[in-house]
Structure 1
Amino acid sequence: MSKGPISQFIQHHYRHFNAAALVDAAQGYETHLLEGGKMMVTLAGAMSTAELGVSLAEMIRQDKVHIISCTGANLEEDIMNLVAHDHYKRIPNYRDLTPQQEWELLEQGLNRVTDTCIPEEEAFRSIQHNIVKLWKDADAKGERYFPHEFMYKLLLSKVMEKNYQINTKDSWMIAAAEKNLPIVVGGWEDSTLGNIFASYIIKNEMKATTMKSGIEYMVWLADWYRKNSEGKGVGFFQIGGGIAGDFPICVVPMMYQDLEWHDVPFWNYFCQISDSTTSYGSYSGAVPNEKITWGKLDINTPKYIVESDATIVAPLIFAYVLGW
């Protein structure tokens, strides 16, 4: 397909170093899809608050992403941006804030993520009111769902639609819900809604088992992977580090080594956008070849690492894959 101006700019100007790695990774992603492969995208950090949905949502709509692994924060923060965008506060000079100024933000209900403050009342509480009803309804019926399934129910019900403050085409969670895109969320408890859910368990208002667990996510992922790894196989596009990437990539060695299913293929494409430093023992910054020793990648798996800012790199790679 003919490429648009962003892709043409990338091809012409991005010739060396991290820029060249970006082009190689984008072309490898495109090739993987053209040859019939599927792709997992993993979201760490605060990519939803960075509004990655502006490009990721279109990737989902155009079937350039087949499964997502994300943190609990990324799962909820796209929806928070959806309903409270106008109340977010940007602080470009965040590096200059004193502890007293940080405390004042807390007192205003503004939770800071680098240069962006999420408004607690408009974001957290407006979602809480609606999601808790879904949790309690399921609990009363003895039904159990994964965290993302509750989110999908919330979005597809359109109960909050009148409160949307951004164009829905820029919400990756709406795009995912409409496609019923598979999502896995390791460590969902480490999120605002996860904390809220735990508070209801402590108050004996719900059962913990109403929410399906991380182990159940891993079991589900093993089944999904086996069903989708034929032919070109499944690629792994990792944005940042942490549990969003560590959790799902382990499904392959788990099946091969622990279940002794020796017909399980390795991940068949790997790219990580990272600014983590390997010399500190950081798994998030480990070069792709290290994953060979853990039974995650094959010797011949196409491997890329772009050591840069994911908020800059990911939209450019997505733009290339989309032909923009």
Structure 2
Amino acid sequence: MNKGPVSQFITHHYRHFNAAALVDAAKGYEQHLLEGGKMMVTLAGAMSTAELGISLAEMIRQDKIHIISCTGANLEEDIMNLVAHNHYERLPNWRDLTPEMEWDLLERGLNRVTDTCIPEEEAFRRIQTHIHKLWKDADDKGERYFPHEYMYKLLLSGVMKENYQIDPKNSWMIAAAEKNLPIVVGGWEDSTMGNIFASYVYKGEIKASTMKSGIEYMVWLANYYKENSAGKGIGFFQVGGGIAGDFPICVVPMMYQDLEMHDIPFWSYFCQISDSTTSYGSYSGAHPNEKITWGKLDIKTPKFIIESDATIVAPLVFAYLLGW
């Protein structure tokens, strides 16, 4: 593939340390795909609010990502940005905010993520109206779906199209829905929509079982891994730390040790972008070699760690893979 100016810039200037690790990881990812491998990308933190969708959506459209694991926040925040972008407020001086100023944001219905405030009324409530109907319809029919499947139904129905406030090509969830991309969301309950769903369960309006669980996600992932890990295998590109990465990477030792599937291959590529420095007891900051001892990675698995800010690094890696 002919590389564009962004790719040419990083390969010329990024020669050492974390910069070189970025280039090595990008080239390793590209080689993994060229050799017929598949790739899981995991999204931690608030990457959707950071608008990673601008590059991530194109990665999905070009089949450079085959499965995603993300937090419940990332699952919903891409859609929030899609329908409420014009109401977001950015606070470049966020470090200077006093507790009183933070309280004022709360009273204005603005929930802050670092320098970006998500407008509760325009974002959460606009989605809630439509997603509640999907939840209730499924509940009434005795049907059950995963959290991302409800979101796919919502997007593909087109019911919110008139509310779009960004170019839909920059929404990774739309790109994923159109491809029916597999998604795993461990701990979905730890999200705004998860809290809202729990409130309906608390009130007795919807059964908890109408939403498929994290255990069911893990069982589904085990079947997916078994069916897709032949040949070059499945790589693991981890953006940040936390449950988005911790949850799915465990499927390999679970299958090998607990299901005694001793022919299951290890993850065949590993990269983590993290600003969590290596420290005692920190899993997010753990060196990739530690994962060998847990039966997740092989001795020969290509391993990369880029100790930097994922909001800066991930778009550059994606740009390289897209030939930008």
Residue equivalent to 1:314: 314
SS at match of 1:41: strand
CA contact (8 A) 2:22 2:317 kept: yes
Q: Deviations over 1:42-83 (max 9, x none)?
A: 000000000000000000000000000000000000000000
Residue equivalent to 2:66: 66
Residue equivalent to 2:233: 233
Residues of 1 paired with 2:264 and 2:144: CA distance? 29
Q: Which residue identity is paired with 1:94? A: W
Q: Answer with 9-18 or 272-281: which moved more.
A: 272-281
Residue equivalent to 1:110: 110
Q: Which residue identity is paired with 1:148? A: H
Residues of 1 paired with 2:279 and 2:242: CA distance? 16
Deviation at 1:277, TM superposition (A): 2.1
Structure 2 unmatched ranges of 5 or more:
none
Where in structure 2 are the equivalents of 1:140-289 lying within 5 Å?
A: 140-289=140-289
- 2:34 maps to 1:34: yes
Deviation at 1:280, TM superposition (A): 3.7
How high is the sequence identity, in percent, across the aligned residues?
85
After TM superposition, the runs of 4+ consecutive aligned structure 1 residues lying more than 2 A away are none
Q: Which residue identity is paired with 1:281? A: G
Q: How many residues align?
A: 324
Residue equivalent to 2:92: 92
CA contact (8 A) 2:277 2:307 kept: no
Deviation at 1:281, TM superposition (A): 1.5
Residues of 2 paired with 1:279 and 1:137: CA distance? 48
Question: What is the alpha-carbon root mean square deviation over aligned residues?
Answer: 0.4
Where in structure 2 are the equivalents of 1:8-23 lying within 5 Å?
A: 8-23=8-23
Q: Which residue identity is paired with 2:210? A: T
The TM-score with structure 1 as length reference comes to 1.00
CA contact (8 A) 2:138 2:210 kept: yes
Residues of 2 paired with 1:266 and 1:60: CA distance? 24
Residues of 1 paired with 2:279 and 2:320: CA distance? 32
Deviation at 1:16, TM superposition (A): 0.4
Q: Which residue identity is paired with 1:255? A: M
Residues of 1 paired with 2:13 and 2:281: CA distance? 34
Q: Deviations over 1:92-140 (max 9, x none)?
A: 0000000000000000000000000000000000000000000000000
Residues of 2 paired with 1:8 and 1:239: CA distance? 23
SS at match of 1:305: strand
